[in-house]
Amino acid sequence: MQMTGAQIIIECLVEQGVDTVFGFPGGAVLPLYDALFQNQRRIRHILTSHEQGASHAADGYARSTGKVGVCIATSGPGATNLVTGIATAYMDSVPMVAITGNVTTQLLGKDSFQEVDITGITMPITKHNFIVKDVADLAKTIRRAFQIAQEGRPGPVLIDVPKDITVHTADFVPEVPRKLAPRTERLSEKSMETALDLIQHAQRPMCYVGGGVIRAKASDDLTQFLENIDSPACTSLMGCGAVNSYSPRFTGLVGMHGTKVSNMCVSACDLLVVIGARFSDRVVSKASAFAKNAKIIHIDVDPAEIDKNIKTYCHVVGDLKVVLEELNKRIAKPMVHKEWMDQVAEFKKRYPIRVDSESARSKEILKALQSVLPPNFFVVTEVGQHQMWAAQFLKHVQPGHFLTSGGLGTMGYGTGASIGAQVGNPESRVVNVAGDGSFRMNCNELATIARYRLPVIILLMNNHTLGMVRQWQTLFFDKHYSETTLDTDIDWVTLASAFGVKGMRIRREDDPKPILQAALELGEAVVIDCEIPVDDKVYPMVAPGASIEDMLGVQEVDEY
């Protein structure tokens, strides 16, 4: 059947199971938007206020649903406005397909109006990208892009489509999408045997868990694995939710803003099993001192991560769910490490997560939020102190329900991502824990929230400063608060009202729980301006270049 390129794009998206896209129109994608208009009953288009918002919304949609997020932008500035969102998805292994328009093929490379080489720009931050110069190649390119975005370690793929390709015609033959098979081609029997032997002979095993477990949908297999090898577990920021926070085996975050317990366990263990994590510098800190008493097993689907940051004793490359299932099968009898687990319990009693009076307010607010949230909620964050507090103080019990920019640390991520999460999960409540510095970057997306009547709650932790940067300036730069004080008198409640969104306040002296409860019961979008002290700090903290055992702000319990 003969179709235009724009129609082919629509048919391929439907074929891939896409029912929602996020975007912003422009001249180079007008034929595609005309096709979207004609197919609005098949694909819902969410118009964001800015293309960056569309990319973050596609990201949040993907993380919260497990589907591929799709965003669309026109050529030139439209395409470049996607770059930060694409990079965010790349660093955090999020399956996304970005479709950009471009000038017609005969104008490519001539510095035409609104022309950029978006494939060249995004090459380092995509799993792969394409520019389609023949409409006959369009369908297979889209199908390949969706396959690449999802297979192995997920990530973003960009498809650049010149405008003339969207109006030219070609034969279109429908296809049933090929079922993705787990990546196991590098999974060797020798590596499995070596890993199993190390596990069986360990006396003090510790598991360090990353976001790869969530991407692989392997949390249940991980839970069984921890039981089988009788091991505690810590997580990276991206791994929040992979291990139930209420589990007695869970020791908290690891690394720079991890718990003292997790960091001590990593240093004291004789075997560190790293599952779906990449040894980020925010976890490892001083590489020569990291897990210095342990042999390290690294289990990951991406061979490029093996021995990249930390040399390992053994590595197992393959789909995490497959690997964990196989290891669980081969452990005939659950192991017992009573002495080690007793020591971990002692660490927990001696080094609880405590805050000084300066920082108690953030914990109080987030604990109040936890108490009123309904089941199956999603928490999204911006980037900064509030992000770390949300990771530390909220209980994460469901994989994929804590959405944050970990690898890139993108301020402005949360509002767009909360849109995507809410659109993808209309029956759930979504809360964006934000800071006033991050929120001002993309608060224009309140227009999108209002337009589509999305009941997103934005909890604005307002300290009138760029809090995390100020914390570093306090600790390491002699309190030289260079350009971190946000003394512009913004009335966030009035701003929300201007967008048609309800605004509320939590003052320093207020009990936050009834206000948060009232906001949730409204069943609509609410911005809550929540005052917190300017010098609240995220503790504990590892100073740059220090061993993860050497933490600032730890309060030890002498008698327990």
Rounded Cα gap, residues 387 and 414, in angstroms: 10
Q: What is the dihedral of CA 253, 371, 516, 484, to 10 degrees?
A: -20
Residue type at position 163? K
- Catalytic status, residue 130: no
The total of other beta-carbon atoms located within 10 Å of residue 156's CB is 35
CB 154 within 8 A of CB 400: no
Closest Cα to residue 419, out of 449, 377, 381? 449
Distances (CA, A) of 29 to 26, 34, 99, 457: 6, 9, 9, 33
Catalytic residue selected from 11, 51, 115, 151: 51
Catalytic residue selected from 115, 150, 163, 347: 163
Q: Whose structure tokens read 């995509």?
A: 126
- Catalytic status, residue 96: no
What is the DSSP code (8-state) at residue 158? E
Phi, psi dihedral angles at 160 (to 5 degrees): -100, 125
Helix (H/G/I), strand (E/B), else coil: 412: coil
- Catalytic status, residue 140: no
Question: Is 30 buried (19+), middle (13-18) or exposed (0-12) by CB count in 10 A?
Answer: middle
Catalytic residue selected from 468, 504, 541, 551: 468
Catalytic residue selected from 114, 343, 370, 398: 114
Distances (CA, A) of 506 to 361, 381, 517: 11, 19, 12
The total of other beta-carbon atoms located within 10 Å of residue 38's CB is 12
Distances (CA, A) of 57 to 47, 155, 319: 10, 15, 27
Rounded Cα gap, residues 274 and 147, in angstroms: 27
- Catalytic status, residue 51: yes
- Catalytic status, residue 114: yes
Give the ranges where 336-430 is alpha helix by DSSP (H).
338-350, 360-372, 385-393, 413-424
CB 539 within 8 A of CB 552: yes
Q: How many residues does the chain have?
A: 560
Catalytic residue selected from 1, 113, 200, 292: 113
Positions marked catalytic:
51, 113-114, 163, 468
